[in-house]
Amino acid sequence: MKNDLLKMLDLSKEDIIEILDLADQLKYERKHGIPHPILANKTLAMIFEKNSTRTRVSFETGMYQLGGHALMLNGKDSQIGRGEPTEDTARVLSRYCDGIMIRTYSQAEVELLAKYADIPVINGLTDFAHPCQVLADLMTVREHQAQLEGLKLCFIGDGNNMANSLIVGGLKVGMDVSVACPKGYEPDEEVLEFARSFKGGKHFTLVRDPLEAAKGADVVFTDVWASMGQEEQQQTRRRVFKKYQVNDQLMAVTNPGCMVQHCLPAHRGEEITEEVFEGHADEIFDEAENRLHAQKAVLVLLMGKK
């Protein structure tokens, strides 16, 4: 694994499996009361330019469980919000802390932070990528299905950061990936170029029809129709994505035992029905919990290096 976690495109299959295996181990130890203060006396700076529940709680709790400390920085409390250059923030935090996690809008900002930081940088979410979430997603699928290789992953909805990262992560671990989204809402072109060139493109499909995408799926993913920063598009997106809902009709064409995953928060009645959500709630909240364990594995692999 490289010195940072910026996007799924940067990880190899071996990197992903290493993270998932360590996450499984740390989860087992946590469940059995086995302490693992691997990051004792180490500090993680957490920069938030987007609101958060799961990212903040899981990283802060994870650092505590690993014996370290996490501190939160946002625009209201720091010079970041008053225009301090990203490269200066990177160099200052490198003198104080052992790692940086950032949740923001621009992928370029995360890449710039990593360029100037002398400590590991972790992407907690950008508009382009959500690698921490997808590592937790893959961990959850492997827990429930006992494998990843050969399964079909389906994503229904907006070609956003989740779609981008799921496509890359799914393909790299040997899954077939099918995406259904409306015209004009496709995943990022860099991701599509990767998917179409990966093993000749034979493991990836992009279609308009959600039922076509979901046929024979082993796990269905979805996300909100309007992400943070897109609230003004809410009404337009409701019209555009009306047919892109995970419901009983869609689930009927999937494989028996098909899982449902949602990164949360969910807008029940929009991208997913109440019935499907509650029918797969255990899987969805296992997924949410696994943010903690997958991110602890990332923290150990990046910040535990001597």
133 part of the active site: yes
The catalytic position among 237, 262, 291, 293 is 291
Interatomic CA distance for residues 224 and 221, integer angstroms = 11
Q: Which of 142, 263, 280, 295 is catalytic?
A: 263
Same domain flag for 110 and 142: no
- Same domain? 138 vs 283: yes
Q: How many domains does the chain have?
A: 2
| Distance from the Cα of residue 72 to its chain's centroid | 20
pLDDT of residue 226: 85
Task: Mark whether 263 is an active-site residue.
Answer: yes
The C-alpha angle with vertex 134 and arms to 280 and 172, in degrees rounded to 5, equals 115
Is 105 in the same domain as 167? no
**Active-site pick, 4, 127, 176, 223:** 223
For residues 122 and 82, membership in a common domain is answered with yes
291 among known catalytic residues:
yes
CATH number of the domain bearing residue 86: 3.40.50.1370
Q: Which of 4, 54, 98, 103 is catalytic?
A: 103
Per the domain annotation, does 2 fall within a domain? no
Q: Which domain holds residue 137?
A: 133-287
Residue 103: active-site member: yes
Query: Per-residue confidence of the chain (306 residues) as pLDDT tens digits?
Result: 889 999 999 999 999 999 999 999 999 999 999 999 999 999 999 999 998 999 999 999 999 999 999 999 986 777 877 789 999 999 999 999 999 999 999 999 999 999 999 999 999 999 999 999 999 999 999 999 999 999 999 999 999 999 999 999 999 999 999 999 999 999 999 999 999 999 999 999 999 999 999 999 999 999 999 876 677 788 899 999 999 999 999 999 999 999 999 999 999 999 999 999 999 999 999 999 999 999 999 999 999 975
Catalytic residue among 54, 65, 97, 130: 130
Tell me, yes or no, if 36 is annotated catalytic: no
Those residues whose C-beta lies under 8 Å from the C-beta of residue 230, and which sit 6 or more positions away, are 237
Active-site residue, selected from the candidate residues 65, 107, 133, 245: 133
Q: Is 79 a catalytic residue?
A: no
The pLDDT score that the predictor gives to residue 305 is 75
DSSP string, 224-262: -SS-TT-GGGHHHHHHHTTT--B-HHHHTTSPTT-EEEE
pTM exceeds cut of 0.85: yes
Residue 295 domain flag: yes
